[in-house]
Amino acid sequence: MAAERGHALDERVRSVVSPVVEEAGLSLEEVRTTRAGDRSVVRVTLDLPDDAVGSLDSDTLGEVSRAVSAALDDSDVVRGRYTLEVSTPGTSRPLTEVRHFRRARTRLVRLQLDDGEEVRGRLADVTGDGDDAELVLDDGRRVAASGVRRGSVEVELRRLEDDEAGTDREGEES
């Protein structure tokens, strides 16, 4: 019964938050509400649209967070006091859907295939949709998305250091 109420509240919050997120040109990944003592915690996960490459910057995240907070306050959909947490999925999100792979383009990925093989490479493109989607690695290998048991983005510290220093992957200034 409590789970059903929580799901219903999640859906009501989603209906209030969704237009704000869409207006900002972002994708609403998840809405989750829980009770924490005498208050609720509302967790909203946002991402860039599926066709975007890169990461959601903190300034945009802050702006949208303020707009989401205002919309929730105006609607009074969450009764009483609440804490709002707005975040992105981050690199630790498992790649389980075609849209996750699209967002991971240009990133180094590790794929565990249904046949037990492990594939590692930079994801260059995702072609097709649904069961016909194919992952294209930068070395030309193609993997059917439907054949991936588990996928993840690998964090590249060297690449992050290069980006922060203003150099590209070959070490030349950008």
pTM of the entire structure? Answer: 0.74
Give me 66's structure tokens.
């303020």
Q: Do 113 and 81 fall into the same domain?
A: no
146: CATH: 2.30.30.100
Please indicate, yes or no, if residue 149 is contained in any of the structural domains.
yes
Residue at a domain's end among 38, 67, 87: 87
Q: Do 40 and 70 fall into the same domain?
A: yes
Distance CA 160, CA 149 (A): 28
Q: Do 17 and 80 fall into the same domain?
A: yes
- How many Å separate Cα 107 from the centre of its chain? 14
Q: Do 16 and 51 fall into the same domain?
A: yes
67: domain range? 2-87
Please indicate, yes or no, if residue 173 is contained in any of the structural domains.
no
Would you state the pLDDT for residue 167?
Answer: 47
Please report how many Cα atoms fall inside a 13 Å half-sphere around the Cα of residue 56, on the Cβ side.
27
28: CATH: 3.30.300.70
Residue at a domain's end among 29, 53, 87: 87
Q: How many structural domains compose the chain?
A: 2
Would you state the pLDDT for residue 3?
Answer: 57
Q: Do 74 and 10 fall into the same domain?
A: yes
pLDDT in 10s for each residue of the chain, 174 residues: 455 566 899 999 999 999 999 999 999 999 999 988 889 999 999 999 988 888 899 999 999 999 999 999 999 899 889 999 999 988 888 999 999 999 999 999 999 999 999 999 999 999 999 889 999 999 999 999 999 999 999 988 765 455 555 544 444 443
Would you state the pLDDT for residue 114?
Answer: 96
Distance CA 124, CA 84 (A): 35
Q: Do 20 and 72 fall into the same domain?
A: yes
| Stated length of the chain | 174
Distance CA 58, CA 160 (A): 16
CB 86 within 8 A of CB 60: no
Would you state the pLDDT for residue 7?
Answer: 84
Would you state the pLDDT for residue 21?
Answer: 97
Would you state the pLDDT for residue 100?
Answer: 93
